[in-house]
Amino acid sequence: MALFGLVLGVASLVVSMAVMSGFETTLQKAMTDVSGYVQVVKRSRFPDDWRELEEKIRKADPKLVSAARFVFVEGIMAHNGQISGVLLEGIDKDRVNETLNLGSRVKEGSADLSAPSDVPLALIGSGLAKKMGLNIGDQFRVVLPIADSSDPSSFNRKVGTFKLQGVVELGKYEWNERFIMIDLKVAQDVAAIGDRYTGLMLKFDDAAYAREAGFRISTALGSPYWVRDWRDSNENLFDAVAVERPVIFFVVSIIIFVAAFNISSSLFVNVMQRFKDIAILKTVGVSRKDVIKIFAAQGLILGAAGLILGFILGLILCVLFNWAQGRLGLISGAVYRVDSIQVNIRFLDTIAICVATMLICFLATLAPAKRGADLNPMEGLRNE
């Protein structure tokens, strides 16, 4: 039972750390795949030369890999008698593949917005496609409010027709439920905004470098531009994961503490049952230190066995968790921002689990080992 409890404790730690790490990795990958590593947003509505802006950014940080213009426009989607509020994102189709990683997120169809078509092509989030009953090749309409140039308090209606080119799993719940991605030029024409754009999406070689790059770019560009990296828009979630990770590690480790007490109790019983054997060993010259080593080794062997079996069970549970997500809907996107989590077992988490487990098991063996080492040989042989 002591070994069984240890196996459960280790397996629980493996699964909990894998899910926490997976949530963080899944959210990070969604942000960098869909919105780039860094976004530079213009505060002014006046058009400017985006090539000059890109050159300024490249001078501020030569590690820039690629940049693509984007624009956001809100509207209402209508299809088969259903309507839904949507966010149109226009992206520079000539640079989108260099800057974003939409191709890996396509569930149906294609992410190619440059394919020949009489009707402008669009990519939409998987949740929106399911809600509106859209299939690849279907056409749908989006109604946009256009401000009246003569009367800013009134709006005119403009309708854009699009053809579904691909259904994309965007990684975040609200994106899947609202996002429609089209070519930048098409978005500008439909919204009647001329050459204006919201900003630039930037790509770097390393996501971890994005914050440093964002600081450099913000310093170089100054107040006319707002710079944010992939972490900024979900800072609270990433901070929560960082705080909760050690807390969950400690709480779940209590299972290992309980199992270690069971191991200690088993070793105490073993010491009592082997008083005679211990007495004989001490009589023939085995030192007190050697007796401690014998019982400590016994506890560590139990700990190692529990650690290995626990990791195997934890890996099996991680596989089952991945399988159950798609079929049972374990993760609520409305609550956790993501619809699914790809569990991720990190090397540092593995080391921490191994060290904690073996250390707890070692400490649990000290009391029974000391009890056996302190045995008087005469006491052990008294009744023999």
Q: Do residues 252 and 350 lie in contact, with contact meaning Cβ atoms separated by under 8 Å? A: no
How much is the pLDDT for 88? 92
Q: Which residue has the tokens 């030029």?
A: 185
Spell out the residues 6+ positions from residue 333 whose beta carbon is closer than 8 angstroms to its own.
127, 172, 173, 176, 177, 339
Of the candidates 78, 87, 90, the residue with the CA atom closest to the CA atom of residue 175: 87
CA distance 119 to 232: 36
Largest CA distance in the chain: 111
Q: What is the pLDDT along the chain (384 residues), one digit of tens a residue?
A: 668 888 988 999 999 999 888 888 888 888 888 889 999 998 766 567 888 888 999 999 999 999 999 999 889 998 888 888 899 999 998 898 899 988 888 989 988 888 888 899 999 998 899 888 989 999 999 988 876 666 666 677 888 899 999 999 888 888 888 999 999 999 988 888 888 888 899 999 888 899 999 999 998 888 888 999 988 877 887 888 888 888 888 888 888 888 888 877 777 776 666 666 666 666 666 677 777 787 788 888 888 998 999 999 999 999 888 888 767 766 766 666 677 788 888 899 899 999 988 888 888 887 777 777 666 665 555 555
Helix H or strand E segment including 345: none
Decide: 87 and 66 in contact? Cβ < 8 Å.
Answer: no
Q: Contact 201/158 with Cβ under 8 angstroms?
A: no
- Rounded Cα–Cα distance for residues 37 and 212 (Å): 11
Give, as one character, the DSSP assignment of residue 337: S
219-to-24, 49, 57, 205 alpha-carbon distances in Å: 28, 20, 10, 21
CA 54 to chain centre: 30
Rounded to 10°, the helix 275-283/235-273 angle is: 80
Rounded Cα distance, 360 and 6, in Å: 11
Q: Concatenated DSSP letters for 173-215?
A: HHHHHHEEEEEHHHHHHHHT-TT--SEEEEE-S-GGGHHHHHH
Paired tokens of 380: 């052990």
Q: Which residues contact 219 (CB under 8 A, 6 or more apart)?
A: 60
DSSP string, 123-167: EEEHHHHHHHT--TT-EEEEEEEEE-SS-TT-EEEEEEEEEEEEE
DSSP β-ladder status, 38-42 and 225-229:
antiparallel
Residue 302, pLDDT score = 85
Helix (H) or strand (E) holding 93: none
For helices 2-35 and 288-328, the axis angle rounded to 10 degrees is 50
Find out whether 230 and 207 touch, Cβ atoms under 8 Å.
yes
From CA 345, how far away is CA 338, in angstroms rounded?
A: 19
CA distance 232 to 219: 17
* pLDDT (0 to 100) of residue 153: 64
